[in-house]
A = this chain, B = another copy of it.
Amino acid sequence: MLFEEYDPRDDKMLQVMDNDGRIINPQWKPDIPDELVLEAYKFMNFARTVDLMAVSYQRQGRMYTYPPNLGQEAISTAIGKLMRPQDWLVPAFREMSAWLLKGARPRDIFLYFGGHEDGSKFSGAPNFLPSAVPIASQLQHAAGIGYAIKYKKQDSVVFAFSGDGSTSEGDFHEALNFAAVWKAPVIFTIQNNQYAISVPVKNQTASLNLAIKSLAYGIPGIKVDGNDFFAVYRASSEAVQHTRAGNGPVLIEAVTFRQGAHTTSDDPSLYRSQEEEKAWSEKDPIKRLRGYLDSMGLWNPGDDEPMLEEYKNEVEKEFAVYENYPDYKVEDVFQYHYKEMPEDLKHQQINYEKFLNWKEAQK
Q: Does B219 lie within 8 Å of A215, measured CB to CB?
A: no
Which residues of chain B come closer than 8 Å to A177, judged between CB atoms? 168, 205-206
Which residues of chain B come closer than 8 Å to A168, judged between CB atoms? 174, 177
A168, closest chain B residue (CB) = B177
Q: Does A300 contact B (CB under 8 A)?
A: no
When chains A and B are docked, how far (Å) is the Cα of A173 from the Cα of B166? 12
Given A169-B170, A173-B170, A207:B217 Cβ within 8 A: yes
Q: Does A349 contact B (CB under 8 A)?
A: no
Given A181-B204, A205-B177, A215:B218 Cβ within 8 A: no
Given A215-B9, A218-B208, A174:B180 Cβ within 8 A: no
A179, closest chain B residue (CB) = B206
Q: Does A213 contact B (CB under 8 A)?
A: yes
When chains A and B are docked, how far (Å) is the Cα of A277 from the Cα of B189? 42
Interface centre among A171, A177, A203, A206 (most CB of B within 10 A): A206
Which residues of chain B come closer than 8 Å to A219, judged between CB atoms? 206
Question: 8 A-B residue contacts at CB 8 Å?
Answer: A173-B174, A177-B205, A180-B205, A206-B217, A208-B215, A208-B218, A212-B216, A215-B216
Q: Does A172 contact B (CB under 8 A)?
A: yes
When chains A and B are docked, how far (Å) is the Cα of A205 from the Cα of B205? 21
Which residues of chain B come closer than 8 Å to A203, judged between CB atoms? 181
Q: Does A163 contact B (CB under 8 A)?
A: no
Q: Does A248 contact B (CB under 8 A)?
A: yes
Q: Does B174 lie within 8 Å of A169, measured CB to CB?
A: yes
Count identical subunits in the complex: 2
Mark out the residues of chain A between 1 and 46 whose CB falls within 8 Å of any chain B CB in the assembled complex.
9
| In the complex, per-residue mask of A177-205: 1 if CB is within 8 Å of any chain B CB, else 0 | 10011010000000000000000000111
Which residues of chain B come closer than 8 Å to A9, judged between CB atoms? 9, 215
The list of the 5 closest CB pairs from A to B, nearest first, reads A170-B170, A173-B173, A206-B218, A180-B206, A216-B216
When chains A and B are docked, how far (Å) is the Cα of A183 from the Cα of B172? 22
Q: Does B217 lie within 8 Å of A215, measured CB to CB?
A: no
When chains A and B are docked, how far (Å) is the Cα of A212 from the Cα of B177? 14
Additional A-B contact list (18), CB under 8 Å, known A170-B174, A206-B217, A212-B216: A168-B177, A169-B170, A169-B174, A170-B170, A177-B205, A177-B206, A180-B205, A180-B206, A181-B205, A181-B206, A205-B218, A206-B219, A206-B248, A207-B217, A208-B218, A212-B215, A213-B215, A216-B216
| In the complex, per-residue mask of A150-165: 1 if CB is within 8 Å of any chain B CB, else 0 | 0000000000000000
A8, closest chain B residue (CB) = B215
A115 CB, nearest partner CB in chain B, Å = 31
When chains A and B are docked, how far (Å) is the Cα of A173 from the Cα of B139? 15
When chains A and B are docked, how far (Å) is the Cα of A203 from the Cα of B169? 22
